[in-house]
DNA sequence: ATGAAAGCGCTAACAG
DNA sequence: CTGTTAGCGCTTTCAT
């Protein structure tokens, strides 16, 4: 392995000069720089980055903790993170936790051991106090996930308002009996989406029964199963708002299998605007989250933090948008 | 930052002993070990992993180069890689290339600079010679992607045979005019899938015209567009084999929009068995690739290579399987 | 079983 | 603008 001192020797300069050529070329006289560069070329020298990391005590690497990379919502966010990172010369260390909190604690050790310069957390299993502690010592950004009352930079959408908007859309279409399939209530995101749903219901004085809110777990199957429960009611709902697109699709499948037409007999709205929501039949009406941009923004905030910028603002709320397609029946309604 | 020498001082031992307690505890007398461990606990000591990496010239990190992490086929493979890696105490550095070969060359520098101990390549844009060179110097495994006649450890399925099987399935169902929407022919995977398709066609003496093979690019839209071309033929095909599920779905959409029923008027088979293929209506008949297992196996091979195991075998072919659902009409056929 | 000490390759403070 | 030099914190060889 050819090293810096080899280059220095052959170029007749000191290692300091070689180092300067590499890290701040403008401080070296052009002649010297050219000479050094040509020797670097000639010897095919590659700097030992591990030595640099060690010496500088930084790695140009960020840790991204994801509950499940196979979920398209997360993989899009990660796509945005990676893009922003690589533009700035940063690398992404990916850790998939499978929602196991032990894996998250393990991952945090990477920060403590300085293997990474910062961290983006797409999950919220860790205790509030732990996250707070960590974020006071190291650059940390939360994306998509967020934690109530925590002054840690967070990039997300306004889950409450978007859910309210989705629900109000169903109300405007004339529905009087609207159900909600929420995600695991362990997660604040789910609780917020329930909150937005409830706000719309109460503000519009729509009838409500607790049986009209059922808890799923963001999977297709859970949407299917919770919908079956609604269909078994004496008076089933005429509209359902599901906390994500997969559950909305599951709910539609259950409805169809029970002879209901969507949207004619049952209106459905989802959440996330995953790629397949427009391919699905009927195409899903849903709340579009800017997943890629969320990742990008989170990485940009992290970069600033790592540069030492202190943010007074800690919540960055990106725009979400109701995408009206077929599953809610709005287009049919317009025709009337 | 508390360091090893601090621990050593307080525990009244040398740094060598502390290091041994950390890396090969069995070589240290139990008493000493306990004492050191308690001091480590007490001081909340975290070893500086950068120093370790530097000193040992290894990082316990592998580089994963992905064309597009937002594509579920790749994110599942990455899921398998991450799982196998973290079990063995390895970390995953993720690089998304967006299919830009410059990004791949950049990524390779990470290997040369020893920032990672090995690499898994899910893409095949690099020149054969480059990959060969790299793989002779560093541990490298190809997954999913593969390159003809290259003796680099590769984990994949048999794309030729699976495509032949998919096509033969359509032939067995009685189809005499079968079209194929292939992926970008730049990729060997696409060319192999065409090859398998052709084998089935010729072996069964089915009529063939070159217009019955159209090139898409693995996207839903390209499937849609190529299907429109088929529909415009004087004698359109009665069956289509698409080189991935997304294009199969696009093709079905085009067919439906033109008044055809699937599978009654047009049978369709896809490839990959992505999650959504069973949700789609009609549920897609497709070739199931063991994506997660592919990633896992690739990582396991890489781990062995990094340990110095030399593999005589270089091609690891995993089982793929034809999953018969609704879009091909086989179930209807059985009823007759 | 433990300690002493060299040194991995680079960076940066300081001097000139 | 360039050189000298002192480490960064750990691992490992060689002694004991």
Each residue's pLDDT tens digit, A311-335: 888 899 999 999 999 999 987 766 5
Looking across all nucleic acid strands, the nucleotide with the smallest C1' to CA distance from residue A53 is: C10
Which chain A residues are Cβ-neighbours of B82 within 8 angstroms?
69, 94-96
Question: Do B305 and B280 fall into the same domain?
Answer: no
The three-class DSSP label of residue A321 is: strand
Question: Do A95 and A74 fall into the same domain?
Answer: yes
Regarding pTM above 0.75, the answer is yes
Looking at residue A334, its pLDDT comes to: 63
The residues, ordered by sequence, that sit 6+ positions from A263 with a Cβ below 8 Å of its Cβ are A282, A326, A327, A328, A329, A332
Residues lining strand C, beta carbon within 7 angstroms: A 1, 3-5, 14-16, 19, 22-23, 47-48, 51-52, 54-56; B 12-17, 20, 27-29, 31-33, 54-55, 57
* A326 belongs to a structural domain: no
* A335 belongs to a structural domain: no
For the CA of B16 and the C1' of D14, the distance in angstroms is: 13
Mean pLDDT computed over every residue of chain A:
93
For the CA of B16 and the C1' of D15, the distance in angstroms is: 14
Dihedral over Cα of A191, A197, A199, A202: its sign: negative
Q: A207 or B18, which is more confident?
A: B18
Looking at residue B333, its pLDDT comes to: 64
The first and second tokens of residue A292, run together, are: 């890629």
Query: Which of A72, A79, A112 has its CB closest to that of B46?
Result: A112
Residue A147 pLDDT class (50, 70, 90 cuts): confident
Could you tell me which of A129, A133, A127, A90 has the C-alpha nearest to residue A111?
A: A133
Residue A100 pLDDT class (50, 70, 90 cuts): confident
Which chain B residues are Cβ-neighbours of A95 within 8 angstroms?
82, 86, 91-92
Q: What is the 3-state secondary structure (H, E, C) of B32-64?
A: HHHHHHHHHHHHCCCCCHHHHHHHHCCCCEEEE
* B237 belongs to a structural domain: yes
B49: domain CATH number is 1.10.260.40
Looking at residue A333, its pLDDT comes to: 63
Q: What's B327's DSSP letter?
A: T
Domain boundary among A12, A29, A54: A54
Looking at residue A129, its pLDDT comes to: 86
Average pLDDT value for residue range A3-31: 93
* B168 belongs to a structural domain: yes
Each residue's pLDDT tens digit, A250-293: 999 999 999 999 999 999 999 999 999 999 999 999 999 999 99
Looking across all nucleic acid strands, the nucleotide with the smallest C1' to CA distance from residue B31 is: C1
C-alpha–C-alpha distance, residues B29 and B17, integer Å: 10
Q: Tell if the CB–CB gap between A114 and B48 is shorter than 8 Å.
A: yes
Question: Do A73 and A222 fall into the same domain?
Answer: no
Q: How is the beta sheet containing A213-215 ordered, strand by strand?
A: A213-215, A178-182, A239-242, A267-272, A285-288, A321-323
Question: Do B201 and B256 fall into the same domain?
Answer: yes
Each residue's pLDDT tens digit, A78-99: 999 999 999 999 999 999 998 8
At CB < 8 Å, which residues of chain B contact A? 46-51, 53-54, 57, 59, 61, 64, 68-70, 72, 75-76, 78-79, 82-83, 86, 91-96, 103, 109-110, 112-115, 220, 249, 253, 276, 279-281, 292
Average pLDDT value for residue range A220-228: 97
Could you tell me which of A77, A78, A135, A123 has the C-alpha nearest to residue A97?
A: A123
Q: Tell if the CB–CB gap between B94 and A76 is shorter than 8 Å.
A: no
* A216 belongs to a structural domain: yes
Question: Do B179 and B190 fall into the same domain?
Answer: yes
Question: Do A10 and A101 fall into the same domain?
Answer: no
Give the whole-number percent of chain A exceeding pLDDT 70: 99
The three-class DSSP label of residue B193 is: helix
**What angle is formed at CA A54 by the lines to CA A43 and CA B11, rounded to 5 degrees?**
140
C-alpha–C-alpha distance, residues B82 and B88, integer Å: 10
Looking at residue B128, its pLDDT comes to: 83
Question: Do B126 and B201 fall into the same domain?
Answer: no
Tell me which chain A residue has its CA closest to the CA of residue B76: A70
The residues, ordered by sequence, that sit 6+ positions from B137 with a Cβ below 8 Å of its Cβ are none
**Residue B93, strand partner residues:** A93, B63
C-alpha–C-alpha distance, residues B302 and B312, integer Å: 14
B75: domain CATH number is 3.40.50.2300
Looking at residue B330, its pLDDT comes to: 81
Question: Do A277 and A301 fall into the same domain?
Answer: no
Looking at residue A323, its pLDDT comes to: 97
Q: Tell if the CB–CB gap between B49 and A96 is shorter than 8 Å.
A: no
State which residues form the domain around B95: 58-157+291-318
Could you tell me which of A193, A201, A199, A191 has the C-alpha nearest to residue A170?
A: A201
Query: Which of A50, A68, A93 has its CB closest to that of B54?
Result: A50
Looking at residue B334, its pLDDT comes to: 63
Looking at residue A268, its pLDDT comes to: 98
Chain C: bases < 7 Å from a protein Cβ:
1-13
The residues, ordered by sequence, that sit 6+ positions from B205 with a Cβ below 8 Å of its Cβ are none
Question: Do A257 and A309 fall into the same domain?
Answer: no
> Which residue ranges in chain B fall short of pLDDT 70?
333-336
CA dist list (Å): B121 to B124, B136, B302: 8, 15, 11
Question: Do B135 and B181 fall into the same domain?
Answer: no
**What angle is formed at CA B153 by the lines to CA B148 and CA B158, rounded to 5 degrees?**
55
Looking at residue A145, its pLDDT comes to: 84
Burial label, B117 (beta-carbon count in 10 A; 0-12, 13-18, 19+): buried
CA distance B153 to chain A (A): 24
Count of all residues that appear for chain A in the document: 336
Question: Do A181 and A262 fall into the same domain?
Answer: yes
At CB < 8 Å, which residues of chain A contact B? 46-51, 53-54, 57, 59, 61, 64, 68-70, 72, 75-76, 78-79, 82-83, 86, 91-96, 103, 109-110, 112-115, 220, 249, 253, 276, 279-281, 292
Which residue, among B22, B50, B58, would best test binding to A if mutated, counting the most A CBs under 10 Å from its CB? Answer: B50
Looking at residue B265, its pLDDT comes to: 96
The first and second tokens of residue A320, run together, are: 């979400």
* A331 belongs to a structural domain: no
C-alpha–C-alpha distance, residues A240 and A268, integer Å: 5
Q: Tell if the CB–CB gap between B82 and A70 is shorter than 8 Å.
A: no
Question: Do A43 and A107 fall into the same domain?
Answer: no
Q: Which helix (H) or strand (E) holds B328?
A: none
C-alpha–C-alpha distance, residues B79 and A165, integer Å: 34
Q: What's B316's DSSP letter?
A: E
> Number of folded domains in chain A?
3
B282 upstream amide cis, omega within 30 of 0: yes
């Amino acid at each position: 392995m050819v090293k810096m001192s080899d280059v220095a020797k052959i170029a007749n300069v000191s290692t300091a000069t070689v180092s300067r050529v590499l890290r701040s070329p403008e401080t070296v006289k052009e002649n010297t720089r050219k000479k050094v560069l040509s020797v670097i070329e000639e010897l095919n020298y590659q700097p030992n980055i591990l030595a640099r990391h060690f010496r500088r005590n930084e790695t140009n690497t960020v840790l991204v903790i994801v509950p499940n990379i196979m979920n398209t919502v997360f993989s899009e966010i990660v796509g945005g993170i990676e893009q922003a990172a690589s533009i700035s010369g940063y690398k992404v260390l990916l850790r998939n936790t499978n929602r196991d909190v032990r894996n998250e604690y393990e991952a945090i050790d990477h920060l403590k051991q300085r293997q990474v310069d910062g961290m983006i957390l797409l999950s919220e299993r860790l205790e509030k106090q732990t996250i707070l502690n960590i974020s006071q010592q190291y650059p940390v950004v939360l994306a998509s996930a967020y934690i109530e009352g925590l002054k840690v930079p967070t990039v997300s959408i306004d889950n409450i308002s978007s859910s309210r908007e989705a629900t109000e859309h169903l109300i405007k279409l004339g529905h009087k009996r609207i159900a909600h399939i929420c995600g695991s209530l362990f997660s604040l995101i789910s609780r917020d989406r329930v909150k937005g749903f409830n706000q719309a219901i109460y503000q519009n004085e729509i009838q409500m029964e607790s049986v009209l809110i059922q808890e799923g777990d963001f999977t297709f199957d859970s949407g299917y199963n919770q919908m079956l429960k609604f269909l078994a009611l004496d008076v089933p709902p005429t509209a359902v708002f599901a906390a994500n697109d997969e559950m909305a699709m599951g709910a539609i499948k259950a409805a169809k299998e029970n002879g209901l037409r969507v949207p004619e007999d049952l209106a459905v709205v989802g959440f996330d605007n995953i790629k397949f929501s427009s391919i699905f039949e009927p195409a899903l009406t849903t709340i579009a989250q800017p997943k890629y941009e969320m990742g990008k923004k989170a990485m940009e905030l992290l970069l600033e933090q790592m540069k030492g910028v202190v943010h007074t603002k800690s919540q960055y709320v990106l725009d979400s948008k109701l995408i009206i397609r077929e599953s809610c029946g709005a287009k049919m309604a317009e025709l009337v």
